């Protein structure tokens, strides 16, 4: 996770060893508010939240995980999941 309060040097990879590329997409106002809420709950920027979801660091739907992904979640059970496990 990037150092809190430390801004990335332009042109220098920060966390993932590669440069980020600007990507634009469109959301409804409700989707935007949800994204802001979910990112804020983890003290992440919207961009970093999406990055971590895309990399599988934040599982989207735990019930839809493969058995291998479930093992990773068990190993790292101290991490918050996007949605709680359903019993």
Q: pLDDT of 7-53, one tens digit each?
A: 556 665 667 788 888 999 899 999 999 999 989 999 999 999 999 99
Residue-level pLDDT at 8: 57
Residue-level pLDDT at 25: 87
Residue-level pLDDT at 10: 64
82 close to 38: Cβ distance less than 8 angstroms: yes
Report if pTM > 0.85.
no
User: What is the distance between the alpha carbons of residues 18 and 59, in angstroms, rounded to a whole number?
Assistant: 22
Residue-level pLDDT at 86: 43
2 close to 15: Cβ distance less than 8 angstroms: yes
Residue-level pLDDT at 47: 92
Who contacts 1 (Cβ-Cβ below 8 Å, separation ≥6)? 15
- As a whole number, mean pLDDT of residues 48-62 equals 85
Residue-level pLDDT at 63: 67
Please give the radius of gyration of the chain, using alpha carbons only, rounded to the nearest integer.
15
């Amino acid at each position: 996770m990037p150092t809190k309060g430390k801004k990335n040097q332009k042109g220098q990879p920060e966390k993932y060893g590669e440069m980020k590329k600007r990507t634009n997409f469109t959301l409804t106002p409700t989707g935007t508010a949800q994204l802001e809420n979910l990112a804020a709950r983890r003290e992440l920027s919207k961009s970093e939240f999406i990055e971590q979801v895309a990399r599988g660091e934040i599982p989207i739907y735990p019930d839809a995980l493969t058995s291998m992904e479930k093992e990773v979640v068990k190993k790292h059970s101290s991490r918050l999941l996007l949605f709680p496990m359903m019993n």
